[in-house]
């Protein structure tokens, strides 16, 4: 796959279509994985009602154990996902898309931007992501402060995505 030019960091207002898009993605991915998926979680800023975010749906497929990973990689490949390894976060496997029609469900539809990960249910990164999401959902003032920080960092590091994420 050709290397992509980094896109600028743009934080937008909350979009009520984000959970709708997640539900559609979960349905297609869940159908392809069947019992391999213990759960499919919506994480990241688009998973927090009212929170400003980059318009990218973050999903984590939770599996019982890493022993299932080869079968999960194969099933996701049939949908058009490309396994990229852990990208520096042990136990969290990342996937890219072979095109905007991924997951390929036969509809030909174009899906929203997304980050797909796979973790075993005992993974520390998964626990951290779920705890952070749930905290922000339960504490709107903290979510508002986080949104303000995200907007400030997006202005400062608009063209340096890695610096935005690091800060």
Give dist(CA 86, CA 60) in Å, integer.
Answer: 13
Give this prediction's pTM.
0.90
Sign of the torsion formed by the C-alpha atoms of 43, 48, 54 and 55 = positive
The answer to whether 138 and 130 have CB atoms below 8 angstroms apart is no
Predicted local distance difference test score (pLDDT) of residue 157: 87
Q: What angle do CA 124, 129, 6 make, to 5 degrees?
A: 110
Q: Which two tokens stand for residue 36?
A: 């391999």
Tokens at 86, concatenated: 């852990």
Handedness of CA 113, 154, 143, 120 (dihedral sign): positive
Burial class (CB within 10 angstroms; exposed 0-12, middle 13-18, buried 19+) of 24: middle
DSSP of the chain:
-PPPPPPPP--B---THHHHHHHHHHHHHHHHHGGG-SEEEEESGGGSTT--B-S-EEEEEEES-GGGHHHHHHHHHHHTEEEEE-TTSTTEEEEEESSTT-S--SS-PPPPPEEEEEEETT-HHHHHHHHHHHHHHH-HHHHHHHHHHHHHHHHHTTT-HHHHHH-
Q: What is the pLDDT along the chain (167 residues), one digit of tens a residue?
A: 445 567 788 899 999 999 999 999 999 999 999 999 999 999 999 999 999 999 999 999 999 999 999 999 999 999 999 999 999 999 999 999 999 999 999 999 999 999 999 999 999 999 999 999 999 999 999 999 999 999 999 889 888 878 888 77
- Looking at residue 165, its pLDDT comes to 80
């Amino acid at each position: 796959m050709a290397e992509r030019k980094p896109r600028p960091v743009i934080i937008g207002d909350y979009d009520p279509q984000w959970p709708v898009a997640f539900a559609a993605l979960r349905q297609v991915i869940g159908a392809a994985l069947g019992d391999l998926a213990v759960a499919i979680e919506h994480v990241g800023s688009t998973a927090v009602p009212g929170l400003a975010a980059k318009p990218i749906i973050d999903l984590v497929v939770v599996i019982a154990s890493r022993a299932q990973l080869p079968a999960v990689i194969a099933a996701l490949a049939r949908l058009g996902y490309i396994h990229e390894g852990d990208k520096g976060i042990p136990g969290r496997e990342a996937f890219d898309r072979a095109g905007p029609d991924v997951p390929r469900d036969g509809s030909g539809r174009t899906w929203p931007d997304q980050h797909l990960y796979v973790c075993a249910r005992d993974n520390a990164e998964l626990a951290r992501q779920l705890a952070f999401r749930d905290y922000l959902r339960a504490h709107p003032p903290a979510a508002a402060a986080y949104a303000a920080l995200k907007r400030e960092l997006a202005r400062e590091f608009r063209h340096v995505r890695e610096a935005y994420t690091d800060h």
